Amino acid sequence: MTTTIALAGKGGVGKSTIATMVIKYLVQTQTGSILAIDADPSSNLYMTLGLEAECTVGDIREGLLGQVQQSLLAGGAAMGTLPGGVTKRDYLDMQIRSSLAEGSRFDLIAMGRSEGQGCYCAVNHNLREVVDGISKNYRYVVIDNEAGMEHLSRRTTRDVQVLLVVTDPTQRGIVAAENIAGFRHELGINIEKTYLIVNNLTTPELPAPLQARIDALDIPLLGTVPHNTRMAEFEFSGRPLVEMGDESPVYQAVAAMLAKIL
């Protein structure tokens, strides 16, 4: 059975950092392969994982629509085929599998840019089928979402076992996290458990006003991740965060949280 872990949070809170630590933990402690889906249009998870993302699903989708437009003129697209008799679904399946960036026990699919002009309903339906079909081959799927989680609802029909909402230690960040967590009730998929993670905490404990605000949320606090100066060294040098040692306070904090829920 595939276990899906999704992460969401507003920009700049370190969501991709937490996603990277989640993948590192799964590689080191769990059996089976892992699929990382970078559903944030900024597509920088591949950098923190030390992979090369040469092609995104957004690129593939736009390429398919271009071929569909040409095929429509020839009368083929209406029958669900492209030039040469290839179906749209088979084309997407082949292209997305070819775009997989391969790591050590984990692979990456980058969703890339959002839709441009035109009708994407049929293409998105095929994309969901392809991504879900690929996901079934992995023990774990980790999805790094944008704040609104639109990709989560439009790119997969799979149930999500764990949603991790990441925030920074500010009142504005926690309010944004509350709004993001509220989106889960509007998605057409089942999310079994939702937790809050406070990242980049510079004090030993949460300040009382923040703790009070968090206590009022309808999602439990899973834990906090401390600020770490070594993290900045990795960011400045461009070194993949997945290479951070097990002794890192950031990794240890995330590992302790995942040990509670997996």
Of 83-97, 119-133, 196-210, 224-238, the poorest mean pLDDT is in 119-133
Global pTM reads: 0.88
d(CA 198, CA 186): 24
Domain of residue 205, CATH code: 3.40.50.300
Q: What is the enclosing helix (H) or strand (E) of 144?
A: strand 140-144
pLDDT in tens, 137-157: 999 999 998 766 665 655 555
Question: Is 226 a domain residue?
Answer: yes
pLDDT in tens, 51-63: 987 788 888 887 7
- Sign of the Cα torsion 174, 21, 100, 126 reads negative
- Cα 81 to its chain centre, rounded Å, is 31
Question: Is 31 a domain residue?
Answer: yes
Structure-token match 């923190």, residue found: 48
pLDDT average, residue stretch 102-113: 86
Mean pLDDT of the chain: 85
pLDDT at 116 over 70: no
Question: Is 154 a domain residue?
Answer: yes
Q: Tell me how many degrees the CA angle 93-131-12 measures, rounded to the nearest 5.
A: 130
The full DSSP string for 30-57 is: --S-EEEEE-STT--HHHHTT------H
Domain, as residue range, for 29: 3-54+101-113+139-261
d(CA 109, CA 101): 7
Question: Is 123 a domain residue?
Answer: no
DSSP class of residue 60?
A: H
What's the structural domain count of the chain?
1
Contacts of residue 85, Cβ cutoff 8 Å, sequence gap at least 6: none
d(CA 163, CA 187): 12
